[in-house]
């Protein structure tokens, strides 16, 4: 069965709230040799994006959306326990503090991202959504994480994210912390991550992992802003 057909079948199962069949689909994929990371990147994430897109377009009922997101979170949680760090990948040792928007969709998308980061050896703390900005700022300034990640954000979260980034840049208390954003509204508005002053951005969890592995020291300067899936070169001198 093609990946698109599996995703469609999985989506229909989630929207109907059929927990037994959802688990059966996952078990079928494991029997076929699909690795836990591939379940996240090739099944859960595309299904999640489909659910969110249909919600934005008012093509799924509130009930269907709630059934789908709650059940998807169950299988994401179960798969996270199987995301064992690969033997050939040494511990990265880099610390990530992650947060997101307050709604269920944002938390679900961000959770997949932090699960993959942890499986690649990053030391992750995930606060979810609804955390006051001043508390996030205080933690970042006090703990100096290598990465501040704000992933899978909704349009309504932008003023808060922009204000937090502006404040962190103004006070200059954590110059070695990368500010990373991704997914959500950043996928639908080209140049937005650069505009608000983020250092890195990625469109999905696996791209996020790749970016943080490939760009371990990238931070915004006057001459070079955001890099990510669409890289922006430094201005000419």
The domain limits of the chain are 3-80, 95-228
Which residue from 171, 172, 57, 154 is spatially nearest to 108, judged by alpha carbons?
A: 154
Q: Evaluate whether the domain defined by 3-80 bears CATH number 1.10.1240.10.
A: yes
The 10s digit of each residue's pLDDT in 198-209 is 899 888 899 999
Which H or E element spans position 211?
Answer: helix 205-214
Whether 236 has a pLDDT exceeding 50, the answer reads no
Q: Rounded to an integer, what distance in angstroms lies between the CA atom of residue 54 and that of residue 23?
A: 23
Indicate the pTM of the whole model: 0.84
Whether 188 has a pLDDT exceeding 90, the answer reads no
pLDDT computed for residue 15 by the predictor: 97
Average of per-residue pLDDT across 127-139: 92
Q: Rounded to an integer, what distance in angstroms lies between the CA atom of residue 111 and that of residue 159?
A: 22
Average of per-residue pLDDT across 150-166: 85
pLDDT computed for residue 228 by the predictor: 47
**What percent of the chain shows pLDDT beyond 70?**
86
CATH numeric code, 95-228: 3.40.50.280
pLDDT computed for residue 227 by the predictor: 46
The 10s digit of each residue's pLDDT in 78-126 is 999 888 655 445 556 799 999 998 888 889 999 999 999 999 889 999 9
């Amino acid at each position: 069965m093609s990946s698109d057909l599996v995703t469609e079948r999985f989506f229909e199962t989630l929207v109907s709230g059929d927990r037994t069949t959802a688990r059966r689909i996952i078990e079928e994929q494991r029997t076929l040799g699909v690795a836990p990371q591939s379940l996240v990147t090739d099944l859960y994430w595309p299904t999640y994006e489909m659910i969110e897109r249909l919600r934005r377009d008012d093509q799924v009922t509130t009930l269907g959306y709630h059934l789908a997101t709650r059940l998807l979170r169950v299988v994401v949680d179960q798969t996270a326990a199987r995301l064992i760090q690969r033997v050939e990948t040494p511990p990265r040792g880099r610390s990530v503090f992650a947060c997101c928007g307050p709604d269920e969709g944002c938390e679900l998308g961000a959770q997949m991202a932090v699960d993959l980061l942890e499986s690649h050896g990053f030391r992750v703390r995930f606060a979810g959504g609804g955390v006051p900005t001043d508390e996030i700022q205080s933690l970042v300034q006090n703990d100096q994480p290598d990465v501040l990640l704000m992933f899978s954000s909704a349009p309504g979260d932008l003023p808060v994210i922009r204000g937090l980034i502006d404040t962190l840049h103004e006070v200059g208390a954590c110059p070695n912390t990368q500010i990373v954003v991704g997914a959500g509204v950043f996928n639908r508005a080209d140049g937005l991550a650069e505009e608000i002053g983020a250092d890195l951005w990625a469109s999905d969890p696996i791209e996020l992992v790749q970016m943080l592995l490939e760009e371990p020291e990238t931070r915004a300067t006057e001459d070079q802003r955001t890099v990510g899936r669409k890289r922006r070169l430094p201005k000419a001198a």
